[in-house]
Amino acid sequence: MKMELIPTVQSLLKQDAIRVEGDIALIEAFTKLIDLLSFQYEHPPVFDFNSYPFLDHSARKIPLLSDSINRPLSQQVLYSISLQPERFEVLVHIHSDSTAKPEYTTKPVYTVRKPNLSNLNHALHALYDYIDDSTHFLICQNCKQLVAAELCSDNSCGDFAKTKHSAQHCESTYKQVFDTSFVDRVSITGEVVNVFKGEDEIKFYASSTAWPHPHEPQCYSRVIETLPLTATLDEVHALRDKLEAEQKYPAPCFHCKEEFDEGEAMDLASFVDFDTDEIVCYGCASLHYGVVY
Ligand SMILES: [Zn+2]
Ligand SMILES: [Zn+2]
């Protein structure tokens, strides 16, 4: 199963698709863990602020699991989690029939009796992984909507026995109430080359420094490459690895040995009479080579 076809915990939380009940301390602990595992979504750069995209901490919008306590069951709710000291349980709600009266089938899909509370983090991590990897719903590669996996074959939804054309497959299939554009397994931050899944494309970016005013450097995220939203997880990983290998920055200054991002240093080769890939920071360029800004 391709991971990009499976809803993530974050995408479910963002759309009120999870309901949680049970012991409040356990719910709080799970809320904290999910928050921690959402790190890659923590600082998405905003790419249109004053023409210098930057890491906007205030733009962080990760819904908390604790906001889903005792959420009433609706068509939106796909998973119910029950956290009791003596039992962790996950139920899946597969909805059907949108026109007449909404119906759903509920199935227990994950049960741990007597969870090991002395290693709570481990137990909760296993629960998180279960939901994050669970294949009860899939994003149809034809209509791009979320459907019950039992209505899918070959990554597309529909009745294959009755229809010949792939576009017709999807027509009669019930679609779950879910916006699949929230499923993001490609964004990553905290690396040399980071990835951000935007609304229009997947952006690869590196930290850079701009000088809007001579003495006021501004850190920003420079887009160095893009891929269409249809790129697979493997394609994203492959390109990120390639770009990462190509990056010259961050690099240590030849003189002071401190690390600098692009925009904070120059090629040493322009100051010396030997071949070199080393860099020199602006401070050392002034100090050692008399560069004046
Ligand atoms: Zn479909
Ligand atoms: Zn230096």
pLDDT digits (tens, 9 = 90+) for 253-262: 999 999 999 8
Strands of the chain, DSSP E:
18-22, 45-46, 54-55, 79-84, 87-96, 103-113, 137-139, 146-148, 152-153, 156-157, 193-197, 201-213, 216-228, 251-252, 259-260, 265-267, 279-281
From ligand 1's centre to the CA of 236, what distance in Å?
24
Check whether 243 has a pLDDT greater than 90.
Answer: yes
Mean pLDDT throughout 48-67?
A: 67
Give the pLDDT of residue 196: 87
Q: Are 148 and 136 in contact (CB under 8 A)?
A: yes
| Mean pLDDT for all residues in the chain | 88
Check whether 141 has a pLDDT greater than 80.
Answer: yes
From ligand 1's centre to the CA of 143, what distance in Å?
4
Ligand 1 is an ion; its neighbours by CB within 5 Å are 140, 142-143, 157, 170
Structure tokens at 250: 């961050």
From ligand 1's centre to the CA of 49, what distance in Å?
37
Q: Which ligand is nearest to the CA of 284?
A: 2
Instruction: Show me where the domains of the chain are located.
Output: 3-182, 186-243, 248-293
Check whether 4 has a pLDDT greater than 90.
Answer: no
Mean pLDDT throughout 276-292?
A: 93
Q: Which residue has the higher pLDDT, 99 or 9?
A: 9
From ligand 1's centre to the CA of 62, what distance in Å?
28
**Least confident among 49-63, 122-136, 272-286:** 49-63
pLDDT digits (tens, 9 = 90+) for 172-209: 889 999 999 889 888 888 888 999 888 889 999 988 88
From ligand 2's centre to the CA of 288, what distance in Å?
9
Give the pLDDT of residue 50: 57
Q: Which ligand is nearest to the CA of 146?
A: 1
Q: Which ligand is nearest to the CA of 143?
A: 1
Q: Which ligand is nearest to the CA of 175?
A: 1
Q: Are 27 and 83 in contact (CB under 8 A)?
A: yes
Give the pLDDT of residue 42: 53
From ligand 2's centre to the CA of 270, what distance in Å?
15
Check whether 79 has a pLDDT greater than 80.
Answer: yes
Check whether 138 has a pLDDT greater than 70.
Answer: yes
From ligand 2's centre to the CA of 255, what distance in Å?
5
From ligand 2's centre to the CA of 34, what distance in Å?
40
From ligand 1's centre to the CA of 97, what distance in Å?
16
DSSP, collapsed to helix, strand or coil, labels residue 106 as strand
From ligand 2's centre to the CA of 268, what distance in Å?
11
Check whether 228 has a pLDDT greater than 90.
Answer: yes
